[in-house]
Chain A
Amino acid sequence: MAYTILVVDDSETIRAVLQRTLAMTRLPIESVIEAINGRDALEKLADSWVDIVFTDINMPEMDGISLVDAMIKNPEYKDIPVVVVSTEGSATRIEELRKKGVKGYLRKPFTPESIRDIILQTLGAWDEV
């Protein structure tokens, strides 16, 4: 199974770094879709099937937490796993995100190994690799 991944970050640099890093994981990735904020991500979700969402927290217009809230409320998106990618390291904040249903947390800067691990853990696909 090849994955379609939605990357949500207002930084063009981080979106590009994530694209590069995902390519280095050697996971079967069909496509990586980019969105510049939560609102853009919801539009992309309406257009495409996505297996997993990687989202930043702090973004203009619609942040990552609002995106998670909107996805939970939508029956079509509520089961799509979300991984938050952020610079923040507060255990309290991470626990809040887990309670909201966020499946994983990846801290910047990240490595190909950490991304690979979190995708496999989140999608429960260790046996397929």
Chain B
Amino acid sequence: MKFETIEDAAKSVIGRILEEAAFIFTDELSPEDRPHVDSWKADGVRLDFKGNPSGHLHMWASDGFAVYAASNMLGIDPDAEHAKEKGMDALKEILNMVVGNLITELYGESPVFDLGLPTQLSIDHLKADMSDASGIWLSAEENPVLFTFYSSTPV
């Protein structure tokens, strides 16, 4: 792995995927700029991977980010009526690309991982994810985005 920590690798992969797939540029989000758990209206998605190790990623983003990502990926006006309904699918596909590229970055090209299908997270998971000290907070087009990563220890 060319990065010192999982967080560094994740930040690099997430930044690259958002830029290449959705033309969105990111910055780190400082703790004081992070949203409050009670007021952040966020959508969350989850993707599991199975192999050695197994684990999952969660991604949380505001509705505004999801619509912006969908409109960029699909080449449609973000104010278009159908842009909002495309947001969740765009979030799922961004997470799918992040997970596929991140596990290769972390564990190399030899192991085979089985990726699950992205699913929408219940808002009940948001509080725990927002308090995860290793969570990766980014600012994307002035929208907060949060990624949390969990993996079992490789055998």
A: which residues have CB within 8 A of B?
10-14, 16-17, 20, 57-60, 86-93, 96, 107-109, 111
Contacts and interface: CB of A to CB of B under 8 A. Distances in A.
B74 A90 contact: no
A108 B21 contact: yes
Contacts, number: 71
Given A20-B75, A58-B116, A89 B97 contact: no
B111 interface: yes
Interface in B74-96: 74-75, 86, 89-90, 92-93, 96
Interface stretch (B2-10, B98-106, B130-138): B98-106
Nearest to A88: B100
Interface residues of B, number: 27
Interface of B: 17, 20-21, 70, 73-75, 86, 89-90, 92-93, 96-97, 99-101, 103-104, 109-113, 115-117
A37 to B, nearest CB: 11
Contacts of A107: 100-101
A55 to B, nearest CB: 15
Nearest to A92: B112
B86 A87 contact: no
Contact of B117 (A16, A58, A88, A89): A58
A19 to B, nearest CB: 9
6 contacts: A58-B115, A91-B110, A107-B101, A108-B21, A108-B97, A111-B20
A60 B117 contact: yes
A86 to B, nearest CB: 7
Contacts of A89: 100-101, 103-104, 109
Contacts of A60: 117
